[in-house]
Amino acid sequence: MSEITIAIFGTGKADPGDTAYALAYTTGKLLAQAGFTIANGGYGGTMLAAAKAASEAGGQIIGVTCSAFKQAAPNEYITRQIVTDSLDERLDKLIELGRAYVVLPGGTGTLLELAKVWELKNKGFLPPDKPIILVGRFWKPLLELVKTEDSDTAACIHRVDDPHQLSDFLTKFIQP
């Protein structure tokens, strides 16, 4: 069986006890239990939460880090590290690795990740069988706003309420 990797985007600023951290933790756990490998930026916040949970569930975690972050150390839970030279290269590698793209709550970095993968999908540079899934209500206002301007663009985005719905969606959409 070949490895099926799910790229997860989210904030690096979430701490244990935060809602975003708990969401990422449950997401990482359920995806690992379903047999998926996860890939993320490899540092703290939701990246750490998802990696920790996936590791505890016996999963594989790819951390795509960036050498431009001189002071940042990758989190201890990644099982494979890919070091890139720039933020653009880092995001491109995560997009390349992903069989699906999961977007958790986040700030401008997460917005950039969502925007790039969404535009690539919208323009046909990513195949239809690579879904983009927004988890929770955080991105719903953005999705609704985009729908008012271009409903076709929003059609390539899926939204689920929680990590359990995400896991169900992915295991039906992609057979691990």
Residues ≥6 apart with Cβ < 8 Å to 129: 173, 174
Q: Is the pLDDT of residue 176 over 70?
A: no
Tell me the C-alpha to C-alpha distance, in Å, between residue 11 and each of 8, 120, 170: 10, 21, 22
Summarize pLDDT for 100-137 with one digit per residue, the tens. 999 999 999 999 999 999 999 999 999 989 999 999 99
Half-sphere exposure of 135 (CA within 13 A, CB side): 32
Mean pLDDT of 33-43: 96
Summarize pLDDT for 20-34 with one digit per residue, the tens. 999 999 999 999 999
Summarize pLDDT for 51-103 with one digit per residue, the tens. 999 999 999 999 999 999 888 899 999 999 999 999 999 999 999 999 999 99
Report the first-to-last Cα separation within the chain, whole angstroms. Answer: 8
Tell me the C-alpha to C-alpha distance, in Å, between residue 17 and each of 10, 14, 49: 16, 8, 11
Give the percent of the chain with pLDDT over 70.
98
Q: What is the CATH number of domain 5-173?
A: 3.40.50.450
SS3 of residue 113 by DSSP: helix
Give the confidence band of 1 by pLDDT, cuts at 50, 70, 90.
very low
Mean pLDDT of 137-142: 95
Q: Is the pLDDT of residue 43 over 60?
A: yes
| pTM of structure | 0.95
Give the confidence band of 175 by pLDDT, cuts at 50, 70, 90.
low
Q: Is the pLDDT of residue 147 over 60?
A: yes
Query: What is the C-alpha separation between 130 and 173, in angstroms, rounded?
Result: 9
Give all strands of the β-sheet with 132-135 in edge-to-edge order.
Answer: 80-84, 61-66, 37-40, 5-9, 100-103, 132-135, 157-160
Mean pLDDT of 38-57: 97
Mean pLDDT of 36-42: 97
